[in-house]
Amino acid sequence: MANQTPLGPVQESSTPEVKFREFLEIRGEKLTEPRRVLLRHIFDSHKHFDADELVAELHANDRKVSRSTVYRTLRLLVEAGLLRELRLTNRTAYEHDYGYPSHDHLHCTECNRVVEFINDDIVKIREAVSLQNGFRAEGHRFMITGICAACSRARSPRRRLDLI
């Protein structure tokens, strides 16, 4: 069955900042102040965003983080398993991966809205297909693309009676 309620965080043993610092140390890099500002801003709320939206938000909040630092740090956060990259029709969006349950997405190709959902049947299919093929599944990505209800209503031609 599908779960339409907004997804909430799950309890993790470490904060995203601790996990990111550990990841960077393994690579011989440091958690610089701009990276820390970016990380905290991203994990202050759970939403889907793209790099340009993130840059605009940071600048609107008077946070001095360069565009190149944003792009490099997003790539590192994905590698560290803290963010997940979503390839949408005309952009790449990001969402929290660390600290949130596995879930799937609906993507409206008109307004770019992304809706999260959990469906146990999809997980069962993943496990059954994996078992049939001698495969050990570690996860999956499932996205349904189409037109949301609001965009469908806006697209439908009005009949003469609707105009009276």
| Three-state SS annotation for 104-139 | EEEEECCCCCEEEEEEHHHHHHHHHHHHHCCCCCCC
* 14 pLDDT tier (thresholds 50, 70, 90): confident
Asked if pLDDT for residue 9 goes beyond 80, the answer is: no
Q: Any idea which of 48-52, 54-58, 79-83, 156-160 has the lowest mean pLDDT?
A: 156-160
Mean pLDDT of 142-152: 91
Dump pLDDT digits (tens) for 101-117. Answer: 888 999 999 998 898 89
DSSP letter at 50?
-
What the chain holds in terms of domains, given with CATH numbers, is 11-100 (1.10.10.10), 101-164 (3.30.1490.190)
- The three-class DSSP label of residue 87 is strand
pLDDT band at 17 (very low <50, low <70, confident <90, very high): very high
DSSP state of 161: G
Percent residues over pLDDT 90 in the chain: 59
Report the pLDDT value the prediction gives residue 10, as an integer from 0 to 100: 54
Contact, 143 vs 48, CB < 8 A? no
The DSSP bridge partners found for residue 93 are 86
Question: Residue 127 pLDDT > 80, yes or no?
Answer: yes
Per-residue model confidence (pLDDT) at position 4: 47
The full length of the chain comes to 164
12: Cα within 13 Å, side-chain hemisphere: 15
pLDDT at 49: 93
Identity (one letter) of the amino acid at 51? A
Three-state SS for 49? strand
**Least confident piece of the model among 2-6, 85-89, 123-127:** 2-6
Supply φ then ψ for residue 139, to 5 degrees. 170, -175
Residue 8 near residue 87, CB atoms below 8 Å: no
pTM, full prediction: 0.75
Q: Which residue has the higher pLDDT, 11 or 121?
A: 121
